[in-house]
Amino acid sequence: MFSKIVKHLKPTNTSLRQQITVTMASTFVVLLLLVSGMAYFSLETILSKAAMSYLIDESSVMIKILDKDPDDIGALEQEVNWNPYPQQIRKDRAFFYYIRLLTADKGTLLETNGMSKRVGTSHFSKPVLPNKIRQHIKHINKHHKDYLLINIKVPTSISGAVRYVQIALDTSFQYEVIEQYWWVLLGLLLMSGLMAIIISYFTAKRCMQPITEMSRMTHRITSEKLDQRLSIKNYPHEFAVLGESVNAMLNRIEDSFNRLQQFSSDLAHELRTPLGNLLGEAEIVLRQARGNDEYRQVIESSLEEYQRLQKLTESILYLAKIENPKRFLAMEMIDVREIIQHLLNFYEMLAEEKHISFTLSGEGTIQAEKILFQQALSNIISNALKYSYENSEIDIRICSEAEQLTIEIKDNGIGMSPEHLPMLFQRFYRVDKDRSAKSGGTGLGLAIVKSIMTLHQGDIKIESHPGIGTTVKLVFKKEEALTSLSS
Ligand SMILES: Nc1ncnc2c1ncn2[C@@H]1O[C@H](COP(=O)(O)OP(=O)(O)O)[C@@H](O)[C@H]1O
Ligand SMILES: [Mg+2]
Output the CA 293–ligand 1 centroid distance in Å: 36
Pick from 121, 145, 180: which residue ends a domain? 180
Output the CA 318–ligand 1 centroid distance in Å: 18
Report angle CA 331, 336, 340 to the nearest 5 degrees.
Answer: 120
Q: Which residues pair with 397 in a beta bridge?
A: 361, 408
For residues 434 and 312, what is the distance between their CA atoms, to the nearest angstrom?
A: 16
Pocket test for ligand 1, best of 446, 472, 473 (most atoms within 8 A of CB): 446
Q: Which residues pair with 149 in a beta bridge?
A: 138, 168
What per-residue confidence (pLDDT) applies to 6? 57
How many alpha carbons lie under 13 Å from residue 48 in its C-beta half-sphere?
15
* Other beta carbons within 10 Å of 88: 8
- 154 is a domain residue: yes
415 lines ligand 1 (CB under 6 A): yes
pLDDT tens digits for range 226-282: 888 888 888 888 888 888 998 999 999 999 898 888 889 988 988 888 899 899 999
220-224, 376-380, 383-387, 418-422: least confidently modelled range: 220-224
Mean pLDDT score, 401-427: 94
What per-residue confidence (pLDDT) applies to 191? 92
Closest-CA residue, ligand 1 atom 13, reads 430
- 369 is a domain residue: yes
Contact yes or no for 443/430 (Cβ under 8 A): yes
What per-residue confidence (pLDDT) applies to 2? 59
Mean pLDDT score, 449-462: 94
Which ligand gives the minimal distance to the CA of 470? 1
Output the CA 461–ligand 1 centroid distance in Å: 14
Output the CA 259–ligand 1 centroid distance in Å: 21
Residue 460: φ, ψ to 5°: -130, 135
* DSSP secondary structure code for residue 467 in this structure: T
The CATH number for 401's domain is 3.30.565.10
Pocket test for ligand 1, best of 430, 432, 460 (most atoms within 8 A of CB): 430
Query: Which atom of ligand 1 is nearest the CA belonging to 414?
Result: 4
Which ligand gives the minimal distance to the CA of 441? 1
Contact yes or no for 281/298 (Cβ under 8 A): yes
- 224 is a domain residue: no
Contact yes or no for 152/127 (Cβ under 8 A): yes
What per-residue confidence (pLDDT) applies to 234? 80
- 399 is a domain residue: yes
Which ligand gives the minimal distance to the CA of 424? 1
The CATH number for 40's domain is 3.30.450.20
Structural domains of the chain, count: 2
Closest-CA residue, ligand 1 atom 19, reads 443
Mean pLDDT score, 437-462: 88
145-155 and 162-170 beta bridge pairing = antiparallel
Average pLDDT, rounded, for the chain: 86
Closest-CA residue, ligand 1 atom 4, reads 415
How many alpha carbons lie under 13 Å from residue 28 in its C-beta half-sphere?
19
Query: Which atom of ligand 1 is nearest the CA belonging to 448?
Result: 17
Higher pLDDT, 36 or 460: 460
Can you give the residue range of the structural domain that contains 383? 325-485
For residues 453 and 440, what is the distance between their CA atoms, to the nearest angstrom?
A: 24
Chain centre to alpha carbon of residue 194: 30
What per-residue confidence (pLDDT) applies to 399? 96
What per-residue confidence (pLDDT) applies to 38? 92
Contact yes or no for 66/163 (Cβ under 8 A): yes
- Residue 3 to residues 6, 9, 18, 30, 203: CA-CA distances in angstroms? 5, 10, 20, 17, 21
Reported confidence tier of residue 109, pLDDT bands at 50, 70, 90: confident
Q: Tell me if residue 95 falls in helix, strand or coil.
A: coil
442 lines ligand 1 (CB under 6 A): yes
Output the CA 445–ligand 2 centroid distance in Å: 4
pLDDT tens digits for range 315-349: 898 888 888 776 677 889 999 999 999 999 999 99
Does residue 293 carry a pLDDT above 70? yes
- 253 is a domain residue: no
For residues 468 and 414, what is the distance between their CA atoms, to the nearest angstrom?
A: 6
Closest-CA residue, ligand 1 atom 18, reads 445
Pick from 180, 213, 248: which residue ends a domain? 180
Pick from 160, 180, 200: which residue ends a domain? 180
428 lines ligand 1 (CB under 6 A): no
For residues 163 and 155, what is the distance between their CA atoms, to the nearest angstrom?
A: 7
Output the CA 173–ligand 2 centroid distance in Å: 105
Greatest mean pLDDT among 197-211, 428-442, 456-470 lies in: 456-470
Output the CA 383–ligand 1 centroid distance in Å: 6
Chain centre to alpha carbon of residue 455: 33
Does residue 425 carry a pLDDT above 60? yes
- 114 is a domain residue: yes
What per-residue confidence (pLDDT) applies to 5? 61
**Residue in 341, 359, 337, 339 with CA at minimum distance from that of residue 412:** 359
414 lines ligand 1 (CB under 6 A): yes
Output the CA 266–ligand 2 centroid distance in Å: 17
308 lines ligand 1 (CB under 6 A): no
Query: Which atom of ligand 1 is nearest the CA belonging to 446?
Result: 17
Which ligand gives the minimal distance to the CA of 382? 2
274 lines ligand 1 (CB under 6 A): no
Does residue 487 carry a pLDDT above 50? no
- 10 is a domain residue: no
What per-residue confidence (pLDDT) applies to 363? 95
What per-residue confidence (pLDDT) applies to 482? 57
Query: Which atom of ligand 1 is nearest the CA belonging to 472?
Result: 1
Reported confidence tier of residue 84, pLDDT bands at 50, 70, 90: very low
Does residue 25 carry a pLDDT above 90? no
- 77 is a domain residue: yes
Does residue 125 carry a pLDDT above 60? yes
Pocket test for ligand 1, best of 315, 383, 385, 465 (most atoms within 8 A of CB): 383
What per-residue confidence (pLDDT) applies to 90? 53
pLDDT tens digits for range 31-63: 988 998 898 899 889 888 888 888 888 888 888
